[in-house]
Structure 1
Amino acid sequence: MAKSSADDEELRRACEAAIEGTKQTVVLSIRVAKSRGVWGKSGKLGRHMAKPRVLALSTKSKGQRTKAFLRVMKYSTGGVLEPAKLYKLKHLSKVEVITNDPSGCTFMLGFDNLRSQSVAPPQWTMRNIDDRNRLLLTILNICKDVLGRLPKVVGIDVVEMALWAKENTPAVPSQQNSESGPVASTVVEGDLKVTVEKELVSQVEEEDMEALLGTYVMGIGEAEAFSERLKRELLALEAANVHAILESEPLIDEVLQGLESATNCVDDMDEWLRIFNVKLRHMREDIESIETRNNKLEMQSVNNKALIQELDKLLERLRVPSEYAACLTGGSFDESCMLQNVEACEWLASALHGLEVPKLDPGYASMRAVKEKRAELEKLKSTFVRRASEFLRNYFASLVDFMIGDKSYFSQRGQLKRPDHADLRYKCRTYARLLQHLKSLDKSCLGPLRKAYCSSLNLLLRREAREFANELRASTKASRNPTVWLEASTGSNQNVNVADTSSVSDAYAKMLTIFIPLLVDESSFFAHFMCFEVPTLIPPGGPVNGNKTGGNDDDTNDDDLGIMDIDDNDSKAGKTSGELGALNESLQDLLDGIQEDFYAVVDWAYKIDPLRCISMHGITERYISGQKADAAGFVRLLLDALESRISMQFSRFVEEACHQIERNERNVRQMGVLSYVPRFAILATRMEQYIQGQSRDLVDQAYTKFVTIMFVTLEKISQTDQKYADILLLENYAAFQNSEAYEQACTRHISMIIYYQFERLFQFARRIEELMYTIMPEEIPFQLGLSKVDLRKVLKSSLTGVDKSIASMYKKLQKNLTSEELLPSLWDKCKKEFLDKYDSFAQLVEKVYPQEQIPSVAEMRELLASM
């Protein structure tokens, strides 16, 4: 009989490989042919051609439970088995052998959980009856043992199956996982409790059995007589058996002799086997000894090869390329050679890092060759760092000396020269990468280099500031205003000759506009060029409170050195604080002394017009608010110092003016309005003009001092003549209260408060008014920023919660006033001014946006009246 595919171990291994990872064990694998009812049909054979498949029975244990599966395997294009379908045996409901197949090798398996019961299940055809019986018995055994039930069996004779199972007991394996391995189980007839549609005993067999029983029953009336008859027949049968046994005694003797002869042969064979076993054991020991020696030799050979390879790698690490050694010890630092220098630095840093323990095996660290090579590399590093540092110090000095020696770099008579450091920074950038590598090789070398750079560039910056400030003052034409504003000798009806000194504050603003961004840029460039680990100062070319920070249009990328950070950890926040302190110390060396030229401009402006300190103070405040970067510490300190000096100069002017007021009490018998009252109104008008919307603290403090000393002096003068004291006080207080300057100051202050709260609304109205001079009102909604959508956005942002905005105006007015008596009148003026402005805005909206709805003027008037 041909070998069954169920015994094919390679097939089983292929099935196990196909379901690898599922934790399932293959119990049986067998080749089959799959078809769709081809037997007895004359349809198209193309659709019903048999396809080769492999059926595999598998089990999976999960705790105390065992699950059984039927897997269908198909062959892929490359001839490799792969899973096609999976059936759970717990859903197997019927096993039916197809009667149309004459060979009886075709059967169907019915499952009760198939989604489409209208499609006929596939038919499986085995190679022979033995394979069919073997597969079906294995399925029935698994169903009985694992699931505890049997499916319905149709078309199979159970007795025939049981007889086949007895005859082929070893050929029906059922894999059971036990400590002793697979154990073959046999299906016996008693185990097959199968429900079949075909009757176990045919009708003919039943009639024969009844006839047989009838021979015994016929003529017997009592059970005892029947029992006696059976006993007699049994004794006759036993006697016949004994007689047959006695007749076969010669045959038994012959068999016993043959068995004895076979026993002797077996004993001889056992002796020979023992001898051969001893010889084989000795031979096995010799073979093991030879194999051991061979293994040691092979291991020694492998170790020697690995050792040679490792030593080759170590020697490669220890080798110093001649071109790098020459470059590090004596190469040029010209611009054309910087690429070779950078490559040599990178190699040196990598080589030093490669000899450290994390990169180098700890066992090699103590080797003499490694120590000597490390010392050699350290010597190369120190030599290169010394040479590079000396070259850079000389290079910085030579660049600055060249620029200082050329007068065309600086401002000259009749020509203000904006400092231009584009060429200087371009030349420095050539060596930015070198500085990065010097930092990675020896961070301590950066200190002297930074000092050398600061020392050289400080000379250039101070020279540029000095020449610029000198030419700025020389080219600014402005008449000097007298410092005697409230002098008693000046009559009340005489006007002080007030000259236009706006060019003075413009000159100061120009000085800041040119040099503050330059100093910020220099600070930023220095921080990056000299490898400080601090955040970026400001974006290149970014504005400082509306002004361009860059002094040169073509120098917008000064902060970009065109290099990448070598150390990825340079920008870590943990290092920033210490580096920031060192940077500010270096910036002090870089920029110290330049403040004297700014002081000179402030003092010069004060001598021409002391009131210009107000404008300069506001300009300085704008620049201070624009300097937020930590790394521009010196620039912020410079601006703070300028603000303090301007405040000090203005305080000096206020003290002198107060002293002039005090001198009025020496004049006896002064009548009418004192001279300093109308002159204070003129002074206040000028001071308000110079504020220009900036902080009022400086001017308000001056007002407090002026008014205090004016009223104290007025009281003293009135006491000199009690007869006319009240009339003198009455006239002077009335003149002070009703002065035109007071009204102007009120108007300006109220406008400032209104615009502070509703600036966007009234700026929108101002833009509409300006456009109405040139275009028609109906065209205005189509202008950029003045569409209906823009109007709605302005209305939403300005008039949403307008009551809160008006309350904020009141609070701001109240906060700025030190005299509560003035608050009611000022608040009435503020409400009237706001209502007038809103009325104008409403009229403009009605003309330009007739369809848009806004709060009416009447509603706004009621709201203001209720506030």
Structure 2
Amino acid sequence: MESVNNKALIEELDKVIERLLVPSEYAKSLTGDSFDEGDMFQNIQACEWLAKALSSLEVPNIDPIYANMQAVKEKRAELEKIKATFVKRAYEFLRNYFTSLVDFMISDKSYFSQRGQLKRPDHADLRYKCKTYAPLLQHLKLLDKNSLGPLRKAYCISLNLLLRQEAREFANELRASTNVSPKPTVWLEGSTGSDQNANTDTSVVSDAYAKMLTVFIPLLVDESSFFVHFMCFEVPALDETDKETGKNSLDLTALNECLQVLHDGIQEDFYPVVDWANEIDTLRCISMHGITQRCLSGQKDDAAGFVGLLLGDLDLRVYMQFSRFVDEACHQIEINESNVGQVGVLPYIPRFAELTTRMEQYIQGQSRYLVDQAYTKFVSKMFVTLEKIAQQDPKNADIVLLENYAAFQNSLYDLAKVVPTLATFYHQASAAYEDACTRHISMIIYYQFERLFQFVRKIEDCMYTITPEEIPSQLGLSKKELRMMIKANLSELDKSFEAMYTKLQNDLASKELLPPLWDKCKREFLDKYESVVQLLAKVYPKENVPGVTEMRRLLDSMQKN
């Protein structure tokens, strides 16, 4: 029995000793060999053995009785030390390796855009060389789950330097190779001088911006996706379920921190293209907004979400540039307030029509809101300024209003049919025009037939308290005084109508408005006079008052154009 037990004990001890021995070839790989590409197979085998050896010394892979043996504890400590040595060596190597790869590319100018040569970034070779060490990264994560954190950050810092250099050089050459003359940036100023570059096609600047995005946005998305897989992150697609459960939240937090480093500051290398395009033609902000919105709508909410943040920053930059232009244009409109006594159409009315035509040409994709917002600010400021200018000259206020509101309608007639926002302002201008016309025409009519309407007003005042039959007996309203009024105010109607026409003609600086306004004046007079005739017939039924038909005949016979 002793012999049998000793034999069994020897066999069991041999198994334990076998677990405690480190094969010399693996010991060499784990503690001192190089990480050259040719040695990677042996290194990976050593990693696999080390992981298994450590696992085999842990309960339940080893009997608890053996786990507490001093020899096992010492061997476990030795393996942990070997692991720590290997992890540190691998980390130092990979950190220096990634840095050297990027430094080599940065030092070689042929990798970047140069004068006369626009070069798309190509990271195929970089990724190929990195993939050689992908298995090593996977084993590092298995050996020490915390070992990849600093390495991931180091990789992102190096790649960020490369990406920013590529974007900067690409943007510089993009601008240098684009030949276009600047457009005027002052649109709604007081004078309407001719612009030599007004017809210059500036679409090349928004095309350049689009090219910047189409080259670098996919690159950044690919680099983000490559980083996720290469650096052994375990994060699912960010659908709503995973957001709610917080699955893999620690890995996701670490990933977001790394991607922040990867993309840090790269928006600053895109900004010069936005600023340059704005300087060439500030209305190109409309096109760039549309381009950015289309890129944003094409981005998924995944590990490359920081690309969406970059696009958001660019869109904000575009929006701020355009907002400054809108604010400056509104200030130019306000300047007109100080021009007291202006006649005719204010300069910013035709300039606004030209501006809207250009802005509509530049709309792309989802730019409608940006443009409509600008229209609202412009027109609100234009109408308020117009009303203030009119108030400064009460005598000619309605003339100023009707001429400018008419010009606004005429200049935007075609666009208002297809642009709902402009249609709204068109109808506002139309209503304001009608009100101003009515007031001015009424003033001309009352001025020319003042005695007639004063007489009628007295009658109307009396009718509140007495019957129509009693009115002729009132002071100033006798039949005799009626006849005197008719003789004085209605005896030479052709001269009165001629005076009305002349007054209207002299008031208007925009002569094309004269024919429709004269027609309106005739209709308004006939409407008012018809009411006068009906009232006089009720109070003075037997008196001879010129009829509406006679008035219409006289007006039609004037043949004014």
Taking structure 2 as the reference length, the TM-score comes to: 0.72
CA distance in 2, matches of 1:381, 1:817: 75
Name the structure with the higher helix share. 2
What residue is the counterpart of 1:657 in the other structure?
A: 329
What residue is the counterpart of 1:634 in the other structure?
A: 306
What residue is the counterpart of 2:279 in the other structure?
A: 607
- Is 1:408 the counterpart of 2:110? The answer is yes
Out of 334, 343, 354, which is 2:56 matched to? 354
* 1:695 to partner: Cα distance: 3.6
* 1:470 to partner: Cα distance: 0.4
Residues 575 and 371 (structure 1 numbering): CA distance in 2 closer, same or farther, change over 3 Å?
A: farther
Name the structure with the higher strand share. 1
* 1:593 to partner: Cα distance: 2.1
What residue is the counterpart of 1:579 in the other structure?
A: 251
- Is 1:467 the counterpart of 2:139? The answer is no
What residue is the counterpart of 1:442 in the other structure?
A: 144
Residues 605 and 819 (structure 1 numbering): CA distance in 2 closer, same or farther, change over 3 Å?
A: closer
- Is 1:714 the counterpart of 2:386? The answer is yes
Q: Which amino acid aligns with 2:389?
A: I
Q: Deviations over 1:473-521 (max 9, x none)?
A: 0001111011111111226x98982321100000000001111111111
What residue is the counterpart of 1:698 in the other structure?
A: 370
CA distance in 2, matches of 1:427, 1:529: 12
* 1:528 to partner: Cα distance: 1.4
CA distance in 2, matches of 1:589, 1:693: 32
Q: Which amino acid aligns with 2:186?
A: V
Confirm or deny: 8 A CA contact 2:186 2:329 kept in the other structure. Answer: yes
* 1:417 to partner: Cα distance: 0.5
Matched residues, number:
424
CA distance in 2, matches of 1:692, 1:600: 21
What residue is the counterpart of 1:746 in the other structure?
A: 417
Q: Deviations over 1:830-855 (max 9, x none)?
A: xxxxxxxxxxxxxxxxxxxxxxxxxx
SS at match of 1:630: coil
What residue is the counterpart of 2:297 in the other structure?
A: 625
- Is 1:501 the counterpart of 2:202? The answer is yes
What residue is the counterpart of 2:318 in the other structure?
A: 646
Confirm or deny: 8 A CA contact 2:408 2:426 kept in the other structure. Answer: no
- Unmatched segments (≥5 aa) in structure 1: 1-296, 539-572, 751-812, 823-867
Residues 693 and 591 (structure 1 numbering): CA distance in 2 closer, same or farther, change over 3 Å?
A: closer
Q: Deviations over 1:337-370 (max 9, x none)?
A: 1011001001100111111112111111100111
What residue is the counterpart of 2:490 in the other structure?
A: none
Confirm or deny: 8 A CA contact 1:614 1:699 kept in the other structure. Answer: yes
What residue is the counterpart of 1:215 in the other structure?
A: none
* 1:535 to partner: Cα distance: 2.9
Q: CA RMSD in A?
A: 2.4
SS at match of 1:356: coil
CA distance in 1, matches of 2:423, 2:154: 55
What residue is the counterpart of 1:594 in the other structure?
A: 266
Confirm or deny: 8 A CA contact 1:687 1:699 kept in the other structure. Answer: yes
* 1:590 to partner: Cα distance: 1.8
Confirm or deny: 8 A CA contact 2:286 2:364 kept in the other structure. Answer: no
CA distance in 2, matches of 1:641, 1:580: 23
Residues 819 and 718 (structure 1 numbering): CA distance in 2 closer, same or farther, change over 3 Å?
A: closer
What residue is the counterpart of 1:125 in the other structure?
A: none
Q: Which amino acid aligns with 1:467?
A: E
SS at match of 1:593: coil
Q: Which amino acid aligns with 1:664?
A: N
Q: Once the two structures are aligned, what percentage of the paired residues are identical? A: 75
* 1:531 to partner: Cα distance: 1.5
CA distance in 1, matches of 2:413, 2:300: 38
SS at match of 1:738: helix
CA distance in 2, matches of 1:818, 1:372: 86
Residues 495 and 471 (structure 1 numbering): CA distance in 2 closer, same or farther, change over 3 Å?
A: closer
Out of 86, 96, 101, which is 1:384 matched to? 86
- Is 1:488 the counterpart of 2:173? The answer is no
SS at match of 1:500: coil
Residues 532 and 345 (structure 1 numbering): CA distance in 2 closer, same or farther, change over 3 Å?
A: same
What residue is the counterpart of 2:226 in the other structure?
A: 525
- Report the more deviating stretch, 322-331 or 454-463: 454-463
Q: Which amino acid aligns with 1:451?
A: K
- Unmatched segments (≥5 aa) in structure 2: 240-244, 429-561
Confirm or deny: 8 A CA contact 1:485 1:496 kept in the other structure. Answer: no
Residues 820 and 685 (structure 1 numbering): CA distance in 2 closer, same or farther, change over 3 Å?
A: closer
What residue is the counterpart of 1:396 in the other structure?
A: 98
* 1:316 to partner: Cα distance: 2.0
Residues 537 and 330 (structure 1 numbering): CA distance in 2 closer, same or farther, change over 3 Å?
A: farther
Q: Deviations over 1:187-208 (max 9, x none)?
A: xxxxxxxxxxxxxxxxxxxxxx
Q: Which amino acid aligns with 2:378?
A: F
* 1:330 to partner: Cα distance: 0.9
What residue is the counterpart of 2:68 in the other structure?
A: 366
Q: Deviations over 1:48-95 (max 9, x none)?
A: xxxxxxxxxxxxxxxxxxxxxxxxxxxxxxxxxxxxxxxxxxxxxxxx
Confirm or deny: 8 A CA contact 1:611 1:690 kept in the other structure. Answer: yes
Q: Which amino acid aligns with 2:381?
A: I
* 1:614 to partner: Cα distance: 0.6
Q: Any residues of structure 2 matched to 1:115-154 within 5 Å, and which?
A: none
Residues 406 and 536 (structure 1 numbering): CA distance in 2 closer, same or farther, change over 3 Å?
A: farther
CA distance in 1, matches of 2:355, 2:345: 16
Q: Any residues of structure 2 matched to 1:128-277 within 5 Å, and which?
A: none
SS at match of 1:444: coil
CA distance in 1, matches of 2:366, 2:10: 80
SS at match of 1:488: coil
What residue is the counterpart of 1:324 in the other structure?
A: 26
Residues 742 and 337 (structure 1 numbering): CA distance in 2 closer, same or farther, change over 3 Å?
A: farther
CA distance in 1, matches of 2:366, 2:250: 37
SS at match of 1:631: coil
Residues 447 and 346 (structure 1 numbering): CA distance in 2 closer, same or farther, change over 3 Å?
A: same
Out of 661, 668, 687, which is 2:340 matched to? 668
Residues 601 and 440 (structure 1 numbering): CA distance in 2 closer, same or farther, change over 3 Å?
A: same
Confirm or deny: 8 A CA contact 1:658 1:706 kept in the other structure. Answer: yes
CA distance in 2, matches of 1:494, 1:526: 51
Confirm or deny: 8 A CA contact 1:410 1:419 kept in the other structure. Answer: yes
CA distance in 2, matches of 1:516, 1:663: 43
Q: Which amino acid aligns with 2:357?
A: T
* 1:666 to partner: Cα distance: 1.6
Residues 319 and 495 (structure 1 numbering): CA distance in 2 closer, same or farther, change over 3 Å?
A: closer
Q: For the pair shown, which has the larger CA radius of gyration, 1 or 2?
A: 1
What residue is the counterpart of 2:134 in the other structure?
A: 432
SS at match of 2:60: coil
* 1:312 to partner: Cα distance: 2.7
Confirm or deny: 8 A CA contact 1:685 1:745 kept in the other structure. Answer: no
* 1:670 to partner: Cα distance: 1.3
Q: Which amino acid aligns with 1:324?
A: Y
* 1:819 to partner: Cα distance: 7.1
Residues 633 and 530 (structure 1 numbering): CA distance in 2 closer, same or farther, change over 3 Å?
A: same
CA distance in 2, matches of 1:743, 1:316: 92
SS at match of 1:672: coil
SS at match of 2:147: helix
* 1:817 to partner: Cα distance: 8.2
Residues 460 and 537 (structure 1 numbering): CA distance in 2 closer, same or farther, change over 3 Å?
A: farther
* 1:575 to partner: Cα distance: 4.8
SS at match of 2:158: helix
Confirm or deny: 8 A CA contact 2:294 2:365 kept in the other structure. Answer: no
Taking structure 1 as the reference length, the TM-score comes to: 0.47
